[in-house]
Amino acid sequence: MAENTDYEDSIALACIATAIFVLFTWSTIVLTVKSPLLSSSELFLVRLIGVFVNGGWFGSLFAHFFVALNRLCAVVYPTKYKILWSKAK
DSSP helix/strand/coil, 7: coil
Q: Residue 19 and residue 56: Cα distance in Å, rounded?
A: 9
The per-residue pLDDT for range 2-41, each reduced to its tens digit, is: 555 555 667 777 777 887 887 788 777 777 776 666 556 6
- pLDDT tens-digit map of 33-81: 766 665 566 777 777 777 777 777 787 888 888 888 888 877 777 777 6
> Which residues touch 80 (CB under 8 Å, ≥6 apart)?
none
Domain extents for the chain? Answer: 10-85
Give this prediction's pTM.
0.40
Residue 6: exposure state from Cβ atoms within 10 A (0-12, 13-18, ≥19): exposed
